[in-house]
A and B are shown apart, each in its own frame.
Chain A
Amino acid sequence: ETGVTQSPTHLIKTRGQQVTLRCSSQSGHNTVSWYQQALGQGPQFIFQYYREEENGRGNFPPRFSGLQFPNYSSELNVNALELDDSALYLCASSPRGGEEKLFFGSGTQLSVL
């Protein structure tokens, strides 16, 4: 059984650029959530996708957007990067009906200079 995989593991961007982060969900899981973990903080909910549609969003501006594909993989896109976007971005998948027990990937460490 393949777990949640994220790519890339590390990324360096400059302010104003755009970035796309990718996530493959665990086999059998059709719900994907994205979290941002800033240094010294707990993960903060960005949004969740179920059956290719956004199914809940946290307190993040519209420049944070996402997609879920028919194979349940997902992308997180961030436009007009700001220095405060520097963080660990975590993708988590779950089977419908068990959303609370999320299975996390190892994350993408994004640095914005």
Chain B
Amino acid sequence: DQQVKQNSPSLSVQEGRISILNCDYTNSMFDYFLWYKKYPAEGPTFLISISSIKDKNEDGRFTVFLNKSAKHLSLHIVPSQPGDSAVYFCAACGGSNYKLTFGKGTLLTVNP
């Protein structure tokens, strides 16, 4: 039972355009959501997070949107840069349980 779903295994965008990565979740107990970025041969690195009390969080070129009623969140990267090419993981946790539940990831390729 996959509680965090990233339905797009891959996404390709042109440099300078917007990248939108999507994530859906099923567990209503989740109240904190994170995005991680992973380069080959490296561990995931924290990118941005959002609490369920908010619907938007912004950090430079990265913005995460949360739609609680739809149990959906998205990560917007604008403008996209070739260095953003990586696998992006959506993760969630909830209640007093700090265990993170990850999606399968989306491979983003930004073409020069």
Contacts and interface: CB of A to CB of B under 8 A. Distances in A.
Interface of A: 4, 33, 35, 40-45, 48, 56, 58, 90, 92, 99-107
Contacts of A43: 44, 89, 100, 102
B98 A42 contact: no
Interface of B: 4, 6, 32, 34, 36, 41-46, 49, 89, 91, 93, 97-105
A5 to B, nearest CB: 10
Instruction: Please report whether the interface of chain B is mostly helix, strand, loop or mixed according to DSSP.
Output: strand
A106 B45 CA distance: 10
A101 B102 contact: no
B57 to A, nearest CB: 13
A58 B99 contact: yes
Contact of B43 (A40, A45, A99, A106): A106
A99 B46 CA distance: 12
A103 B89 CA distance: 14
A99 B6 CA distance: 23
B104 A100 contact: no
Interface centre among A40, A42, A58 (most CB of B within 10 A): A42
A106 B41 contact: yes
B46 A102 contact: yes
A64 B32 CA distance: 27
Given A35-B100, A45-B100, A99-B98, 6 more contacts: A33-B100, A42-B89, A48-B98, A90-B43, A101-B49, A106-B42
Given A43-B89, A43-B102, A56 B43 contact: no
B32 A100 contact: yes
Contacts of B105: 42
Given A101-B34, A105-B43, A44 B98 contact: no
Nearest to B90: A42
A39 to B, nearest CB: 11
Top 9 A-B pairs ranked by shortest CB distance?
A104-B43, A42-B102, A99-B98, A45-B99, A106-B43, A43-B102, A104-B44, A42-B104, A105-B43
